[in-house]
Amino acid sequence: MSNSLLSHRPLGKTGLLVSPLCIGGAPLGDMPETFNYSAPEENALATVRATFASSINFLDTAAAYGDGESERRIGKVIKENGGLPEGFVLATKADRCLKTGDFSGEQIKRSIEGSLERLGLDRLQYVYIHDPEHTTFENVMGPGGPLEVLKSFKDQGVIEHIGMSGGPIDMLIQYVETGEFSAVETHNRYTLLNRSADPLLDVANRLGVAVINAAPYNSGMLAKGPDAYSRYAYSEAPPLIIERARAYAEICQQYNVPLAAAALQFSMRDPRVTSTVVGMTKPERVTQTLELASFPIPSELWTAIEAVGFDTEDPEANRFK
């Protein structure tokens, strides 16, 4: 991947410029039940410091990550840094109450107030509505609902931009088509293994909505290899998926390319994707990820990988039925 592909890109029509790599803050919140590993605070703080010192200018978190722990830790580093670095873009997400499932406008207001406090900021550059698969379209878009509350924060200058972040692709397309959101974030659905987000990328691209693509490693399998880490979209991987991942790994070996470099660049090389979100909890991962992003990959490798095939079904479909 050439260095020109590592230069900053417009975040839709917001006027913000972001690096094509974004650090994912979910594992910074210490969520072992999701990721199967823990993240001590010192590691998390060092990772945020390394991000601020790097060429990556984009960090993605959420109110719900580790019940606010991700934001609290990021807030500590923002404070010691005397604010966000010049030109840095921090995105967070307004969340339902994880205890009661409350997804009301009032809950979204509490979520934003909590984020401001934990991050130690008086305004938020970018806020997504998070995981609306846990409520209805009518609730999100209706009077007094989550979107209306965020728009009123925007009118007050507390929030600069509003996006949508979630799982099911048909649902995300429905939100993108309203024209209310400047970016859409998808996860685990546009990777070497799974292309179910392809229609979303097309719609967003047509409407000038930025696509933020998270979890390019399908929650770790494509970074560590299927034999070392056989989880897919945060649960145990089906046999066919493991088989495909092994086939990709063998192709990468033939071309002396790390599997993680191919998985990362698959997302980064797609012109429809503005930025690719990679979760990390160790400071050295920042440099390693930048190296993977610029690792030379021959075009023959992509042809060989396409021939193996991929999944077009939503990897988490059963979770939301």
CATH number at residue 108: 3.20.20.100
Mean per-residue pLDDT over the chain, rounded:
94
Higher pLDDT, 253 or 315: 253
d(CA 274, CA 11): 7
- 77 within some domain: yes
The 10 Å CB-count burial string (b at 16+, else e) for 102-131 is: ebbbebbbbbbebbbebbebeebbbbbbbb
Query: Of 117, 123, 112, nearest to 84 (Cα)?
Result: 123
Q: By residue range, what is the domain housing residue 91?
A: 3-219+263-284
Residue 3 has pLDDT above 70, yes or no: no
pLDDT reported for residue 1 = 45
- 112 within some domain: yes
Strands annotated E in 47-110: 58-60, 89-94
- 151 within some domain: yes
29-88 residue pLDDT tens = 987 677 777 789 999 999 999 999 999 999 999 999 999 999 999 999 999 999 999 999
Give the rounded percent of residues in the chain with a pLDDT score beyond 90: 88
pLDDT reported for residue 319 = 58
Element (H, E) at 128: strand 124-130
- 305 within some domain: no
Contact 22, 13 (CB under 8 A): no
Residue type, 287: T
d(CA 278, CA 308): 24
pLDDT reported for residue 321 = 42
174-226 residue pLDDT tens = 999 999 999 999 999 999 999 999 999 999 999 999 999 999 999 889 999 99
- 234 within some domain: no
305-319 residue pLDDT tens = 999 999 999 888 755
What does pTM read for this prediction?
0.95
Q: DSSP per residue over 226-278, as a string?
A: TTT--EETTEEPPHHHHHHHHHHHHHHHHTT--HHHHHHHHHHT-TT-SEEEE
pLDDT reported for residue 260 = 98
CA distances from 203 to 20, 59, 176, 272 (A): 20, 25, 8, 10
Band (2; pLDDT cuts 50, 70, 90):
very low
Structure tokens at 158: 């507390």
Contacts of 154 (CB under 8 A, 6+ apart): 160, 161, 162
- 83 within some domain: yes
Higher pLDDT, 114 or 7: 114
- 278 within some domain: yes
* Domain count of the fold of the chain: 1
- 225 within some domain: no
pLDDT reported for residue 234 = 80
